[in-house]
Amino acid sequence: MSEVKLQTQFDVLDYLRRELMPHFLCPGCGHGIALRALLWAVHELAIDKDSLAIVSGIGCAGRTGAYIDANTFHTTHGRPISFATGLKLARPDLHVVVITGDGDCLAIGGNHLIHAARRNLDITCLMLNNEVYGMTGGQVSPTTSEDRYTTTTPLGNNEAVFDACKLAAGAGATFVGREVTVQTPTLKNLIRDGIAHEGFSFIEVISDCTEIYGRKNDLGSSAEMILSQKSAMRPETFENNIIDRPFRPNALPTGVLAHDEARPEYGATYRASIEARKGGK
């Protein structure tokens, strides 16, 4: 990561559309913490609001983008990464950040995720993972833990959990990380490094859905849920090549899981090829 001059004295209200308050998030929802961490990172990087583009999809995670006082785009289900791809290619001067959910990103939008990672375009993708389709009825998602109850798994979920970070790294993302919302300063630093990275950055934010998912599975209050998530993260049990280790739902590694500065950024190589053709080379 190139050296950046960090700002201090952060006030989240400076980055929010106050006229849209109160927000729609349920009490205890971890997405609000994730939003604060993102804006904190933007503040430290001294990114001007006119230079920041937030692209979001459908769902609780996607709706958070509307509250950011910047260039915001609320797109169709599963398509925020594809919209962001066109935007970044047309306006390479913008800092483009995608906010998406586990269903929006990995189910209907999974194809867009893997090809964005493959191209290595300079986009930062934040996937807020609360293990459920919270906005549309509480259906099972690709990251719902095994044996958990949802409206579409009344006998418990029998499907294996999707490891989004392993998928992104395997598809070629040059910056991959994971953190829980309770570790807010650490999450902020991870997001900051992801935005500063030149290439496709994928960051999974382990969030909580207290009202829809937590109640149905007797997981306690929001505080109890996020503390439980924190205790389940045990990076010290993994070696340096953690991305190649078997997926263990009760011991998810956190922090930077993959970081590659060697691969060229897609937008730069694309523009270079156009200039070369113009020159008759």
pTM, 2 dp = 0.90
DSSP code of residue 31: H
C-beta of residue 201 within 8 angstroms of C-beta of residue 125? yes
Q: Say whether pLDDT at 77 is over 80.
A: yes
C-beta of residue 40 within 8 angstroms of C-beta of residue 126? no
Which helix (H) or strand (E) covers residue 97, if one does?
strand 95-101
How much of the chain exceeds pLDDT 70, in percent? Answer: 90
- The DSSP secondary structure of 47-67, one letter per residue, reads --GGGEEEEE-SSHHHHGGGG
Q: DSSP 3-state assignment of 101? A: strand
Q: Which fold has domain 23-278?
A: Rossmann fold (3.40.50)
| Confidence bin at 7 (pLDDT 50/70/90) | low
State residue 278's pLDDT score: 85
Q: Say whether pLDDT at 131 is over 90.
A: yes
Phi-psi region of 131 (alpha: psi -120 to 50; beta: other; left: phi over 0): left
How much of the chain exceeds pLDDT 90, in percent? Answer: 76
State the average pLDDT over residues 129-134. Answer: 94
Give the chain's mean pLDDT: 89
- For strand 201-206 and strand 124-129, is the pairing parallel, antiparallel, or unpaired? parallel
State the average pLDDT over residues 79-102. Answer: 97
C-beta of residue 115 within 8 angstroms of C-beta of residue 193? no
C-beta of residue 151 within 8 angstroms of C-beta of residue 142? no
pLDDT tens column, 216-268:
999 998 888 888 887 776 544 444 444 444 434 456 789 999 999 999 999 99
State the average pLDDT over residues 145-152. Answer: 94
